[in-house]
């Protein structure tokens, strides 16, 4: 018998995860029950302590081969009810028809202090929804998802989380032959905009109603009291999506594939593929080489998020009952996005009051950053070190600009604005450093970790995870991880291939 197929040993938390399977209680049209496809000779690549804490899972469990094997898909967690869900969606703005969990299997949900959390294996083999895919995820993309899930969580941005990453020497063909991996993802729900599109497009309004009621009762019970709960659901999801994208913009994060099947009904960041964090600021930056039209460029993300909410509204229209009701729910997107973005920019610049000219200050700042391709993360971080009546700390941030005169002119405006609210250096600096990360998951740092991992050296993944768990801390011993990327980093590309 293969060691990865041994019966499960009843260790402390492993056999005691109290699974509930609410999604599995829906009618069988919503999913297909199936087991993950076993993975030969799996090994542990990485595990997140903070994600494990979310579900009360003991990290010591991962010293056992049977636990590793189970999270590779070689066994079934006691009490789980594995399934792959069906959904549809728009991909790059074009209706793609039926999609579904083509390489992900939902195990079930575990009650936690903050509500139920679903566990899902990604890269766990073929499902009825795999279409032409092989149901596997490669190590390269799995490392990206694992680390970014945890980095975003530490930044305070709503996201799915990643418990562990399991590797194997089993290989598949992508642009090249690559080894595979399985990520265990955690989220309150993996229901997507495309889950609703599926039933509406197929004119199965009964199932659409069941899904909407399930989502409301499970995740938005307060909306049940609304005059029109389905209109209230659309409004709440639209608001959450607007806030989420504002948070992305504020840290320079680009998702890369904002298809409707990658949009969470809970306003979470899900499905990490060819994402990127901004290095030199360019509002038109496209992080996904598969995005030939630039649909998902940084500057387009708010507009596309709004478009996706319209697609959700179209799907919920049979339940809402009127176009006017749907339009009223959607109308909150723009004001919610602008208000959230304004709030975040005030925080990033250490401004605790709002004044009429602030918009102009922000616009001129971004225009200056665009013209100079200023490093996004470093600029906001170093800005927090500036003093109101001293130029001692000016040179570090000044060095980010080719056009020093333009920066000096803007800096004079910024200092004047700070004086108008009697800003104090000793209060402003910690406030700004608490919202402007020093460390983000830059593409070149990922590339280094991936290349080492392909040689079975997982130390860089572990190191990055620890650094990114505290992105706002100084961590002087890791200062090189906050530096501007080397020249070779600009040649790195990410695509939809995984």
Residue 376 lies inside a defined structural domain of this protein: no
Q: Residue 14 pLDDT more than 70?
A: no
Q: Residue 12 pLDDT more than 50?
A: no
Q: Residue 7 pLDDT more than 50?
A: no
- pLDDT at residue 13 in the model: 59
Give 45-80 pLDDT, tens digit per residue.
999 999 999 999 988 889 999 999 999 999 988 899
| Together in a domain, 185 and 200 | no
3-class SS of residue 178: strand
Q: Nearest CA to 137 among 192, 190, 73?
A: 73
CB 75 within 8 A of CB 200: no
| Together in a domain, 175 and 206 | no
Q: Is 292 exposed, middle or buried (0-12, 13-18, 19+ CB in 10 A)?
A: exposed
- pLDDT at residue 5 in the model: 34
* Number of domains composing the chain: 2
| Together in a domain, 146 and 228 | no
**Domain encompassing residue 220:** 194-343
- pLDDT at residue 490 in the model: 82
| Together in a domain, 237 and 311 | yes
| Together in a domain, 39 and 67 | yes
3-state percent helix, strand, coil for the chain, nearest multiple of 5: 45, 15, 40
- DSSP string for 79-122: T---EEE--EEEETTEEEEE---SSEEEEEEE--TTS-EEEEEE
Last residue of a domain, one of 343, 376, 395: 343
Q: Residue 127 pLDDT more than 60?
A: yes
Last residue of a domain, one of 297, 318, 343: 343
Query: What value does the mean pLDDT take over residues 84-107?
Result: 97
- DSSP string for 289-319: TT-TT-TT-GGGHHHHHHHHHHHHHHHHHHH
Q: Residue 9 pLDDT more than 50?
A: no
Query: What value does the mean pLDDT take over residues 476-482?
Result: 97
| Together in a domain, 169 and 208 | no
- pLDDT at residue 498 in the model: 59
Give 368-393 pLDDT, tens digit per residue.
999 999 999 999 999 999 999 988 88
Residue 369 lies inside a defined structural domain of this protein: no
| Together in a domain, 131 and 235 | no
Residue 497 lies inside a defined structural domain of this protein: no
- pLDDT at residue 227 in the model: 97
d(CA 165, CA 176): 21
| Together in a domain, 175 and 214 | no
Residue 32 lies inside a defined structural domain of this protein: yes
Give 425-444 pLDDT, tens digit per residue.
999 999 999 999 999 999 99
Position 497 confidence tier, pLDDT thresholds 50, 70, 90 = low
Q: Residue 420 pLDDT more than 50?
A: yes
Residue 471 lies inside a defined structural domain of this protein: no
- pLDDT at residue 495 in the model: 76
Pairing mode of beta strands 88-91, 94-98: antiparallel
| Together in a domain, 83 and 220 | no
| Together in a domain, 234 and 153 | no
Residue 358 lies inside a defined structural domain of this protein: no
d(CA 112, CA 116): 6
Q: Residue 6 pLDDT more than 50?
A: no
Residue 399 lies inside a defined structural domain of this protein: no
- pLDDT at residue 17 in the model: 82
| 444: CB partners within 8 A, 6+ apart | 485, 486, 488, 489, 492
Which tops the pLDDT comparison, 486 or 205?
A: 205
Q: For the whole prediction, is pTM greater than 0.85?
A: yes
- pLDDT at residue 15 in the model: 65
Last residue of a domain, one of 160, 190, 220: 190
Residues known to be catalytic: 261
- pLDDT at residue 142 in the model: 97
Crossing angle, helix 301-320 and helix 205-219, to 10 degrees?
110
| Together in a domain, 286 and 165 | no
- pLDDT at residue 11 in the model: 32
Residue 484 lies inside a defined structural domain of this protein: no
Give 132-171 pLDDT, tens digit per residue.
889 999 999 999 999 999 999 999 999 999 999 999 999 9
Which percentage of the chain shows pLDDT scores above 70? Answer: 97
3-class SS of residue 269: strand
Give 340-370 pLDDT, tens digit per residue.
999 999 999 999 999 999 999 999 999 999 9
| Together in a domain, 171 and 147 | yes
């Amino acid at each position: 018998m293969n060691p990865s197929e041994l019966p499960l040993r009843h260790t402390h938390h492993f056999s005691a995860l109290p699974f509930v399977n609410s999604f599995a209680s829906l009618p069988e049209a919503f999913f297909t029950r199936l087991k993950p496809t076993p993975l030969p000779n799996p090994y542990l690549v990485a595990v997140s302590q903070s994600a494990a804490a979310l579900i009360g899972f003991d990290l010591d469990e991962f010293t056992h081969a049977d636990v590793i094997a189970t999270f590779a898909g070689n066994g079934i967690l006691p009490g789980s009810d594995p399934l792959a869900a069906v959904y549809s969606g728009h991909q790059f703005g074009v209706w793609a028809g039926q999609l579904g969990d083509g390489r992900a299997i939902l195990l079930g949900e575990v009650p936690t202090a903050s509500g139920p959390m679903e566990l899902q294996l990604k890269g766990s083999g073929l499902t009825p929804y795999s279409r032409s895919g092989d149901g596997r995820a490669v190590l390269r993309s799995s490392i990206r998802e694992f680390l970014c899930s945890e980095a975003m969580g530490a930044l305070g941005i709503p996201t799915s989380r990643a418990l562990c990453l399991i590797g194997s020497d089993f290989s598949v063909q992508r642009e090249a032959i690559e080894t595979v991996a399985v990520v265990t993802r955690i989220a309150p729900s993996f229901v997507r905009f495309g889950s609703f599109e599926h039933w509406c497009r197929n004119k199965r309004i009964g199932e659409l109603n069941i899904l909407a009621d399930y989502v409301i009762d499970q995740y938005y019970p307060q909306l049940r009291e609304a005059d029109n709960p389905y209109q209230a659901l659309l409004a709440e999801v639209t608001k959450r999506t607007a806030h989420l994208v504002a948070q992305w913009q504020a840290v320079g994060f680009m998702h890369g594939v904002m298809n409707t099947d990658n949009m969470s009904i809970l306003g979470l960041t899900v499905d990490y593929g060819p994402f990127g964090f901004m290095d030199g600021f360019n509002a038109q930056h496209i992080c996904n080489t598969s995005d030939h039209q630039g649909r998902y460029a940084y500057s387009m993300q708010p507009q596309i998020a709004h478009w996706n909410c319209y697609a959700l509204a179209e799907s919920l229209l049979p339940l809402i009952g009127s176009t006017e009701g749907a339009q009223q729910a959607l109308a909150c997107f723009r004001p919610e996005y602008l208000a959230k973005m304004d709030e975040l920019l005030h925080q990033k610049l250490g401004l605790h009051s709002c004044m009429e000219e602030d918009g102009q200050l922000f616009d001129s700042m971004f225009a200056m950053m665009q013209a100079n391709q200023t490093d996004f993360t470093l600029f906001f971080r170093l800005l927090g070190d500036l003093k109101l009546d001293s130029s001692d700390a000016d040179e570090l941030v000044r060095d980010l600009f080719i056009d020093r005169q333009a920066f000096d002119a803007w800096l004079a405006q910024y200092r004047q604005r700070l004086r108008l609210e009697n800003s104090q250096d000793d209060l402003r600096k910690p406030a700004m450093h608490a919202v402007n990360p020093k460390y983000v998951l830059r593409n070149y740092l990922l590339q280094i970790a991936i290349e080492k991992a392909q040689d079975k050296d997982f130390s860089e993944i572990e190191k990055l995870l620890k650094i990114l768990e505290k992105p706002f801390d100084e961590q002087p011993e890791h200062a090189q991880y906050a530096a501007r990327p080397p020249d070779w980093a600009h040649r790195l590309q990410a695509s939809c291939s995984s």
